[in-house]
């Protein structure tokens, strides 16, 4: 596999290595808004959201369809810029960054997982996981080892040479999680990661997220429509009409690994979606 032709510029950005001062919350947003312009029509998708997320938190994001959850995640993930308000990531005001600098922040600090996995279809699991390493100049000789380690972290050591079509839905999502983890991000954003998975596989993926949160201190934000999935997080936020309308700790956080052990075994294949 060859490196993509265009790579973002290597202009330095101000965020310190690692996650900076551990006393500063990882995410601080104040009065964040996003208005989409479609022709002459303005759509206020986010209308002034203020919240803080500390390092190591596991936060679920809920709310009806169209309430602004994905818009919010895209802003946190530096995929998009706010129309108003401020976003500090590890104390650094990234809302003012241009697209090159946002790309660097994404590559270095943020992992994404989506409902549809978004894997390259004609590319093996291992090569899919290597993709982010092309963009930050990881030497060729180090890429495979890092990708293998990330696949091992998600329990897919023996599937590196499979193509996505040769993997179950749960396994494809694990590859996508390995790809999101390969640059050791501080923040993992998951937008309905279990939306295409059966309930057993969903709990399996949640057990993986809980382990990454607990053992690596990974800060996690997870959009979900399913109330029982949200109860694997430590905190639940609820959006409605572009506003944050609820923000509360979860009492009695469920342990996904324990729930999985109590479920009947999959009669077919392990992790089949």
Ligand X SMILES: Nc1ncnc2c1ncn2[C@@H]1O[C@H](COP(=O)(O)OP(=O)(O)OP(=O)(O)O)[C@@H](O)[C@H]1O
**Under the rule (CB under 5 A), what is the footprint of Mg ion?**
70
C-alpha 107, offset from chain centre: 12
> Which one of Mg ion, ligand X, none interacts with residue 71, CB within 5 to 8 A by kind?
ligand X
Q: Pick the closer one to ligand X by CB: 62 or 179.
A: 62
Shortest distance in whole angstroms from residue 50 CB to ligand X: 17
DSSP class per residue in 164-197: GGGS-HHHHHHHHHHHHHTT--SEEEEESTTTTS
Regarding 120 and contact with ligand X (CB under 6 A), the answer is no
Distances (CA, A) of 207 to 51, 111, 129, 259: 26, 18, 21, 9
Shortest distance in whole angstroms from residue 172 CB to Mg ion: 19
Q: Pick the closer one to ligand X by CB: 83 or 138.
A: 83
Shortest distance in whole angstroms from residue 77 CB to ligand X: 13
Among 2, 6, 10, 65, binds ligand X (CB under 6 A): 65
The tokens 């982010």 sit on which residue? 132
Regarding 68 and contact with ligand X (CB under 6 A), the answer is yes
Shortest distance in whole angstroms from residue 65 CB to Mg ion: 7
Closest CA relative to residue 170, chosen from 226, 131, 113, 220: 113
Regarding 40 and contact with ligand X (CB under 6 A), the answer is no
Shortest distance in whole angstroms from residue 137 CB to Mg ion: 32
Cβ atoms 47, 243 nearer than 8 A: yes
The tokens 């700790």 sit on which residue? 249
Among 28, 33, 67, 224, binds ligand X (CB under 6 A): 67
Residues 6+ apart with CB under 8 A from 100: 8, 9, 11
Q: Which residues bind ligand X (CB under 6 A)?
A: 36, 38, 43, 45, 63, 65-71
């Amino acid at each position: 596999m060859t490196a993509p032709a265009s790579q973002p510029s290597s202009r330095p950005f101000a965020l310190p290595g690692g996650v900076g001062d551990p006393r500063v919350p990882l995410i601080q947003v104040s009065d964040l808004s996003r208005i989409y312009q479609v022709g002459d029509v303005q759509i206020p998708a986010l209308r002034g959201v203020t919240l803080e997320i500390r390092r190591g938190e596991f936060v679920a994001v809920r709310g009806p369809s169209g309430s602004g959850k994905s818009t919010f995640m895209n802003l946190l993930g530096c995929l998009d810029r706010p129309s108003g308000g401020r976003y500090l990531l590890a104390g650094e005001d990234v809302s003012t960054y241009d697209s090159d600098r946002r790309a660097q922040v994404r590559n270095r600090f943020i992992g994404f997982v989506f409902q549809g996995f978004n894997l390259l279809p004609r590319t093996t699991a291992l090569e899919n996981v290597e993709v982010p390493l092309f963009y930050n100049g990881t030497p060729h000789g180090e890429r495979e080892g890092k990708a293998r380690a990330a696949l091992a972290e998600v329990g897919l050591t023996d599937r590196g040479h499979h193509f996505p079509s040769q993997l179950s839905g749960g396994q494809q999502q694990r590859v996508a999680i390995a790809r999101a983890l390969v640059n050791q991000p501080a923040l993992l954003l998951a937008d309905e990661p279990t939306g295409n998975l059966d309930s057993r596989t969903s709990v399996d993926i949640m057990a993986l997220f809980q382990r990454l949160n607990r053992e690596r201190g990974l800060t996690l934000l997870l959009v979900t429509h399913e109330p029982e999935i949200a109860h694997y997080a430590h905190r639940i936020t609820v959006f409605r009409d572009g506003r944050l309308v609820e923000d509360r700790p979860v009492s009695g956080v469920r342990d996904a690994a324990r729930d999985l052990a109590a479920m009947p075994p999959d009669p077919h294949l392990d992790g089949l979606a």
